Amino acid sequence: MNARIQLKQLLPAWETFRRATDIAPIRNETHYRRMVVMLDALLDETIGDESHPAIGLVDIVGDLIEDYEAEHHPLPDVSGVQALKFLMEQHGLKQADLREIGSQGVVSEILAGNRDLNIRQIRALSDRFGVSPATFV
């Protein structure tokens, strides 16, 4: 790539791209919903292939959504145990259903706050629920 950007060529291309995609900092809830739909479509297209030509768009749209959500839809601060309890409720799970983190007794101790989740358990829960390991830290 030429180290010197040719603005006279870049700006018309950018304007055409922006009009066609509406990719820009998110302005409102309507724009936010359109960007979420676009990200879903991009993720369906790329199917986790890091070498896919559209992966850069996934990163850009994802960052725009993340910035908007951080300002307009902040998540409450919750502990890893609170997140686990919430996910168990959402999935209709009981302590005995979480065999990947230990016996029912171990799960009970974790949920009561008498035992911390270890790295192996955090990874297993992250995989099971499809969330970031940071959810449980």
Enumerate the domain spans of the chain: 7-72, 80-136
DSSP string, 92-126: T--GGG-GGG--HHHHHHHHTTSS---HHHHHHHH
At 2 the pLDDT is 54
CATH value of 80-136 in 3.20.20.70, 3.40.50.300, 1.10.260.40, 1.20.1260.10: 1.10.260.40
At 49 the pLDDT is 85
Amino acid at 107: V
Residues of the chain with confidence (pLDDT) below 50? none
> Helices 55-72 and 29-46 sit at what angle, rounded to 10 degrees?
150
At 3 the pLDDT is 53
Are 100 and 110 in contact by the 8 Å Cβ rule? The answer is no
The pTM of the full predicted model, rounded to 2 decimals, is: 0.57
